[in-house]
Amino acid sequence: MNNQDFWHSVLSIIDEGFTAEGLSKLESYAEQFITQRLVYKRFSPAEQYGCAAGGTTHVIASLLAGAETSANSDAAPDVSDFKREVQRGAQQADRIEQWARKVGCWTECVEDALPRMLGEQIAEGGEAKVYDHGATLIKAIGLDYFIQPILALDRISLHNSYFPETALTVLGFGRTADGDFKIVVEQPFIEGTHMSDNEIALFAENIGFKLINPRNWTFATPEIYLSDLHDENVIRSKEGNIFVVDCDIRINTPSLHCGGTRDLTTEVEIIKD
């Protein structure tokens, strides 16, 4: 199976409405992805491992979001880049929803359901609501910063690769009463103290990132864009270990204007046994 055959297979599974046979194929593709017999060239090997660390649900959703259609590539020339991005985002969210409903990882009206299941909401940021779940946190992450689910799913993969101590596991998906798409994830709870901007900058530089813009806590390498690294998102434990619990992390493409050199390919390679 080559790249074209693989994506044709995924699109057929979608078009056929996620039959039992189609769901079985997706599980098989996820297993090949996790064992890196299916190489996803969007990521480095370590980043693909980070995607796998998010769980099978995360892997399958990433593949569903990555499947392009003729409607994606043949949009009318007068459609703006932003409108095209919104259309792609809506299509990706719809197909993930169809699949999640089939396999039972879909939550209706997440802002009502999660408090009933988990209890108190303990925090709310620009894109996520956070719920107390004992030794872990449950987060309902929106698409406010990303528009397209594939980019939000990338963020989870990259976070898990670069900050595995606070890895995010994807539990499922849902929508709010207003119809906003959400990714529901679980993350270890870290207790500690906040760090100063200077301490965070030193930490980021020590792991290879260059400070780009101190006003919005943005750092970068040619491959990775890392932002929103402020004092509420980086914690020092009582043992002195540093944990990044939240950040805006992306594949650094030239369009981000931070010296990025990568592209957002969805090409795959199947490694033959």
Boundaries of domain holding 79: 3-104+263-270
User: Does the structure show a pLDDT above 90 at 121?
Assistant: no
In this prediction the pTM is 0.93
Amino acid at 184: V
Mean pLDDT of the chain: 92
pLDDT at 27: 98
Q: What is the DSSP letter of 165?
A: G
CB neighbours (10 Å) of residue 195?
20
pLDDT at 74: 42
Q: Which of 145, 161, 167 is nearest to 40 (CA)?
A: 161
Q: Which residue in this structure is represented by tokens 């944990």?
A: 243
Answer whether 126's CB lies under 8 Å from 98's CB. no
Taking the C-alpha atoms of residue 258 and residue 226, their distance in angstroms, rounded to an integer, is 10
Confidence grade of residue 124 (pLDDT, cut at 50, 70, 90): confident
pLDDT at 133: 85
CATH code of the domain covering residue 175: 3.30.200.20
One domain for residues 201 and 141: no
3-state secondary structure at position 106: strand
Answer whether 211's CB lies under 8 Å from 204's CB. yes
Residue ending a domain, choose from 153, 188, 223: 188
One domain for residues 7 and 68: yes
Answer whether 52's CB lies under 8 Å from 28's CB. no
One domain for residues 181 and 93: no
One domain for residues 224 and 148: no
Q: Using one digit for the tens of pLDDT, what is the confidence trace for 35-62? A: 999 999 999 999 999 999 999 999 999 9
One domain for residues 150 and 114: yes
User: Higher confidence at residue 175 or residue 114?
Assistant: 175
CB neighbours (10 Å) of residue 241?
11
One domain for residues 114 and 42: no
One domain for residues 198 and 169: no
Tokens matching residue 55: 């769980």
Q: Using one digit for the tens of pLDDT, what is the confidence trace for 135-146? A: 899 999 999 888
One domain for residues 49 and 92: yes
Name the domain count of the chain: 3
